[in-house]
Structure 1
Amino acid sequence: TIQGDDDERIGYPTQKPEALLERIIKASSNEGDIVLDCFVGSGTTAAVAEKLGRRWIAADINKGAIQTTIKRLQKLPDTQLGIAHYRVNNYDASTDLERRDIVIKKYGVQTDRQEAFFDGTLDGTLVKIIDLTKPLTPLDIQTIKDELENRPEESRNITVFCYGTNSNIQAELKAENRRRAVNKMFVRDIGSEGVTTFEPASAAVDFERNGESVKITIADYISPTILARMDIDRTIFDEQIDDFRAQIDCVLIDTDYTGEHFKIVESDLPKKKEDFVDGEYTVSLPRSDARVAIKIIDMLGEETVVTEQG
């Protein structure tokens, strides 16, 4: 890894020297080839591949790694004009744990650190909390059945918490429960019970066209997740925080947004942590009917995309 006094160092713990990646990429690829890094980290692979004339694909489950990589690439003097940014499955490990904790606290689930598969117990039943970013599927139920087959002595019933399901699964489980003496499964759809595990951030953005350019102004931004982390409501936030931009980590702009992917044409990446994004931008349009979109990424990595109407 990079040493503490190295000029390349950007503060990422797993950062590797560019010279090392340069040797590897030169030895294993030619100009125009595609270099893939599935754990991009600090972005060294993508940065070196860009410098060496390679195309590249960079991925990471850590939002901080993606933001670090984007910032690093935008600082390259001869970088390509656009970087396509895709978010796959909306998966976020930290947010997933937060949603699970909401269910545990809301329903009073008793957790057990010694238990590897189930999430705890509730009223004498075992509890399994399914991925709350998607509806319950037959595969989820089968996974529970497979686990129970490895526990022949287990006689408790199972409470399955999910966020969305379908009538077929419910009907099938009811039929199975009538045939079972033990290990009956009962599904609780927290969405239908009025439990919200995630409230997205909201942004007020103005777009003002003037000939071949567009002026973009971020008028307001608020993240319920950040408010929850700070344990304050919006009124107190407005009193204590002088500028809503304190929540925003960076701003990305696509001047020809198609809705399929986000191509970064302009970016606002503050050099210092204490600096704010500008919040006002004027960008040139590639053509008169192009649609502009702005992506706001906040301090917790949540992304909010706002597009120009019309």
Structure 2
Amino acid sequence: MSDGLNEQLNLAVAEVSPKYLDSVEKYEFEPIKGYPMLNWRGKRPFTSTQYYPAQLKEVHGEEVDGWRNKIFWGDNLQVMSHLLKKFRGEVDLIYIDPPFDSKADYKKTVEIKGNQAETSATSFEEKQYSDIWTNDEYLQFMYERLVMAREFLSPSGALYLHCDPRKSPHLRLILDEVFGSQNFRNEIIWHYKFRMMDSDNQFNRKHDNIFFYARSPETRIKMPKEAWVKEDLIKTRKQEIHIGDDGREMIWMPGQKGNSKSRMVPLDEILARGKAVDDVWDMPIISSSAKERTGYPTQKPEALIERIIAASSPAGGLVLDFFMGSGTTQAVAMKLGRRFIGADINLGAIQTTAKRLIGIAEDLRQKPLGDKTKPFTGFEVYNVNHYDIFRNPVQAKELLIEALEIQKLEFSTIFDGEKDGRMVKIMPVNRIATCADLNELIAGFDYKAWERKQNESPKRPVEKITLVCMGHESDLAAQLVLAAKPFNIHVEVVDILRDKADLEFRRDSQAKVAIKNGELVIERFYPMNLLQKLSLQKESVEDWKELVESVLIDWNYDGAVLQPTVVDIPGKNELVKGEYLVPCDAGTIRVKIMDLLSESWEGSISHGD
């Protein structure tokens, strides 16, 4: 990318450590004896990445020992690139629950709040994210992020990757390549119980896979213990119960750790000690009525993450989760007295996590942790890149097609539309488009048709292609032209950030706030996108409060960062207050209203107004 464009877009570069690059250059992605590697179309070494700086948007709570937790809204590769300089080698534990390539769209049920929610079916499903990939694209996506993740771990750090059997063989090989097969510790089977279904072509699928990799031989765990069931212990030891001289129940135990002598041990001591956890974890999924349930799709139970965090991070240690989702890792880390960093590209994940953490922080203030563990309850929210262009990345392609007046192609597998005689490909949005993103397009080139066109008009391009992106590598067009050789194609790049900054991709919410009799009053609130969806559902709402998830108020807004002192987050079927007593020392007042789609309106009013 040219220096001029770098300066215009405020791009920076993060580089992978030379030690890793040495191994990349050594193997050059060619399998060698004793070193199996996974290859895919378009695989390339990951050596550096360009990224946008982060902007601090919200601050909640106070620092503890100079630390405030961090949440980032943005593509996780750019987020990690932004963090790498400060946190390289500083993270104790990484837990990630990335996309599974499940070939499904995940949706969240949106329900109107208040009494109306109990008396009528005022709900609809809103798509949160899509988990549909081409195989090569998915593998490159995960490979780059795992290379970056490795850079963050301390010498004693650990990584846990949560997946399912669909991609676990591929991810295991990538993890071996990035971390070294010698650092593989466990494949943990999370076995869960749910409704059984009879099938005549497969057994019931009842588990996920969690790969545990060490950063180095220094990595250790604090072994979790499970309670023994008395009958199971007796059955396992194949021993009968004996009664000791003092009347206690006794059981024979074999010698351990160099002591070969068996001995009688009080049964209650063995039961109290518990048994070491193995690599099959029987834990239920979250019930629909559980307090921790957020409604976010693919949410994992806190008990599962608690076992991982307690085993592989010390009190006050730093935990990183860059596929944050509903914020379970962050929630558990806060409860266990760990510091954390989280990231997600989905705005719904950011808002769900922030709301969840605000509630946990309040609970911890009322019921503090033990004396030895400090709760790190404060957190900051950052944006990376101009993500407010697209509130919902799943809808981005449709929005772009409409805004750029592209004619959709229903039957094309590689192009998204056509405009002015040019074939249009919309690149991944909400992150910088890279040359690796061209692989699917290149794989779908119609060389037979091109050959026919070239024979008919040798001097004309056989194809005119427009790439639509949101930030891009400088050689994006040149690499596509090179890949098409010996055919001549013409490629142009439309960069939304640079070329189409005035495009409107969403309908902004509207609100009116006023100060009356010493109170801040929200008089009206119109969440435009939500109201439009409700009108399609033929649902009517009488009170704007039924559409609101939360209200945050900063009484002395500095013009840049929201630091709310009023946090109005009602219960499931309760409504926000809508009226708030203004303190005497209030200055510029900033109000943030978040609706049920996790979209928000922000506005300011002066205390003197």
Range of TM-score over shorter length: 0.5 to 0.7
- CA drift at 1:291: 4.0
Q: String of CA shifts for 1:154-180, please: whole Å, max 9, x gaps.
A: 41222456799xxxxxxxxxxxxxxxx
Task: Indicate the residue corresponding to 1:32 in structure 2.
Answer: 316
- The alpha carbon displacement at 1:60 in A equals 2.2
CA 1:33/1:261 → structure 2, altered by over 3 Å: closer, same or farther?
farther
What is the match of residue 490 of structure 2? 184
1:78: Cα distance to partner? 1.7
1:61 to 345, 368, 374: 345
**Secondary structure, aligned partner of 1:184:** strand
Find 2:382's aligned residue among 77, 80, 86.
86
Matched, 1:71 2:371: no
Residue 417 of structure 2 aligns with an amino acid whose one-letter code is: G
* One-letter amino acid of the counterpart of residue 4, structure 1: S
Return structure 1 stretches of 4+ with deviation > 6 angstroms: 131-134, 139-146, 186-192
Write the distance in 1 (CA, Å) between the matches of 2:352 and 2:597: 13
Change (3 A) 1:261 1:37: farther
Aligned equivalents of 2:314 and 2:503: distance in 1? 53
* 1:220 positional shift: 1.6
In the TM superposition, 1:97-108 aligns within 5 A as 97-103=397-403, 106-108=405-407
Post-superposition shift, 1:56?
Answer: 2.1
Instruction: Mark the CA change 1:266 to 1:50 in structure 2 (over 3 Å): closer, same or farther.
Output: farther
Partner in structure 2 of residue 127 of structure 1: 424
Q: What is the DSSP-based 3-state SS (H/G/I as helix, E as strand, rest coil) of the residue aligned with 1:217?
A: strand
Aligned mate of 1:280, from 579, 586, 598: 579
Cα 1:73–1:129 shift into 2, 3 Å = closer
Which residue does 2:182 correspond to in 1?
none
| Alpha-carbon contact 1:2-1:9 (below 8 Å) kept | no
Counterparts in 2 of 1:198 and 1:132: CA distance versus 1, 3 Å: farther
The separation in 2 between residues aligned to 1:40 and 1:219, in whole angstroms, is 35
Match for 1:62: what amino acid?
Answer: N
Which stretch of structure 1 is more off in the superposition, 119-128 or 182-191? 182-191
1:301 and 2:598 correspond: yes
**Residue 109, structure 1, aligned to residue 408, structure 2:** yes
SS of structure 1 residue aligned to 2:598:
coil
Give the match for residue 158 of structure 1: 465
Higher Rg of the two aligned structures: 2
Residue 221 of structure 1: aligned partner: 525
Q: Does 1:199 align with 2:507?
A: yes
Give SS of 2:397's match: helix
Residue of structure 2 equivalent to 1:4: 287
- Distance in 2 separating the partners of 1:282 and 1:81: 26
Q: 1:189 to 1:255 in 2, by over 3 A?
A: same
The 1:292–1:58 alpha-carbon spacing in structure 2 relative to 1, beyond 3 Å, is farther
Q: Which runs of 5+ in 2 are unaligned?
A: 1-283, 366-375, 451-461, 472-486
* 8 Å CA contact 1:39, 1:58 repeated in 2: yes
Query: For 1:207-257, what per-residue CA distance to the aligned partner results, in whole angstroms no more than 9, with x for missing partners?
Result: 4695xxxx322222223323443458xxx99xx532233332222233443
Counterpart Cα distance in 2 of 1:32 and 1:290? 36
Cross-structure match for 1:177:
none
Local SS of the residue matching 2:384: coil
Q: Is the 8 A contact 1:49 1:55 kept in 2?
A: yes
Q: What TM-score comes out, normalization by structure 2 length?
A: 0.38
Give the Cα–Cα distance (whole angstroms) in 1 for the partners of residues 421 and 344 of structure 2: 40
Q: CA deviation at 1:99?
A: 0.9
Q: Which has the bigger relative contact order, CA under 8 A and spacing at least 6?
A: 2
Per-residue deviation, 1:204? 1.6
Which residue type is aligned with residue 549 of structure 2?
A: D
> Which SS does the other structure have where 2:411 is aligned?
coil
Larger mean Cα displacement after TM superposition, 62-71 or 155-164: 155-164
Q: In structure 1, list runs of 5 or more residues that go unmatched.
A: 165-180
| Alignment match, 1:241 | 541
Give the aligned partner of residue 218 of structure 2: none
Q: CA separation of 1:306/1:230 partners in 2, compared to 1, >3 Å: closer, same or farther? A: same
In the alignment, residue 87 of structure 1 is paired with which amino acid?
N
| 1:42 matches 2:42 | no
Secondary structure of the residue aligned to 1:246 is helix
- Find the residue that maps to 2:383 and give its secondary structure: coil
- The letter of the residue matching 1:246 is E
Residue equivalent to 1:167: none
Preserved contact between residue 401 and residue 408 of structure 2 (Cα < 8 Å) = no
Q: Which of residues 241, 257, 262 in structure 1 aligns to 2:562?
A: 262
